[in-house]
Structure 1
């Protein structure tokens, strides 16, 4: 089985305040379903209130992330699933619950992890 990253950037979450409570409830229900199905690895949201730093191999700390990279924010879930089709199905469930499109990526297999 492979691990899949299902995520969305914060800017994609464009819902009215009244709808935000429902999106939160519904997305938590999907995560609970993933836990019950035994496919949930971990997930959460990036805390935008904590500044990003970049740490070099020598331990030097610089403010901000990679200059050429896109900002990593929003929410994510990592699920361990038997197929890409299963991953697409879970991503669709999360997209419906969150009321925004989800990005789907697969982690490369690393036998040491």
Structure 2
């Protein structure tokens, strides 16, 4: 299986009125539950609308993102699926429920990290 990041830009849902937000939340939670039930859900969250902090390699913290960056992530999910086509199908479900376009990116595999997580979960 391969993990995919499905995300949308901050502000992508600004066209939704406050009165519509409960229904959007309900529909999106239904898609999340479907992903959980299908065994493909890894993690997801919306992000607070705020500027990020950037920590440099020397530990210095600055405000970010940098001004030249026009788009930042507003929310995301990670799914673990068999193919890009399946990831695109899940992205379509999230796009419909969130009423905004979704971006899909394949995450690099890291077998060593996966093994670390497995060992930690076994100890719990």
TM-score scaled by length of structure 1: 0.89
**Residues 82-101 of structure 1: matches in 2 within 5 Å?**
82-101=82-101
Question: Number of matched residues?
Answer: 112
**What runs of 5+ residues in structure 1 fail to find an aligned partner?**
none
Q: Does 1:35 align with 2:36?
A: yes
Residue aligning to 1:53: 53
**Residues 55-94 of structure 1: matches in 2 within 5 Å?**
55-94=55-94
CA contact (8 A) 1:48 1:73 kept: no
Distance verdict in 2 for CA 1:111–1:67, change over 3 Å: farther
Shift of 1:67: 4.5
Deviation string, structure 1 residues 39-58 (Cα, Å, up to 9, x no partner): 11100011124x41111111
**Residues 6-25 of structure 1: matches in 2 within 5 Å?**
6-13=6-13, 14-25=15-26
Instruction: Provide the aligned C-alpha RMSD in A.
Output: 1.5
Shift of 1:64: 1.4
Deviation string, structure 1 residues 9-46 (Cα, Å, up to 9, x no partner): 12211212222111111001101111111111100011
Higher mean displacement: 38-47 or 9-18: 9-18
Shift of 1:74: 1.2
Consecutive aligned runs of 4 or more in structure 1 exceeding 4 Å deviation: none
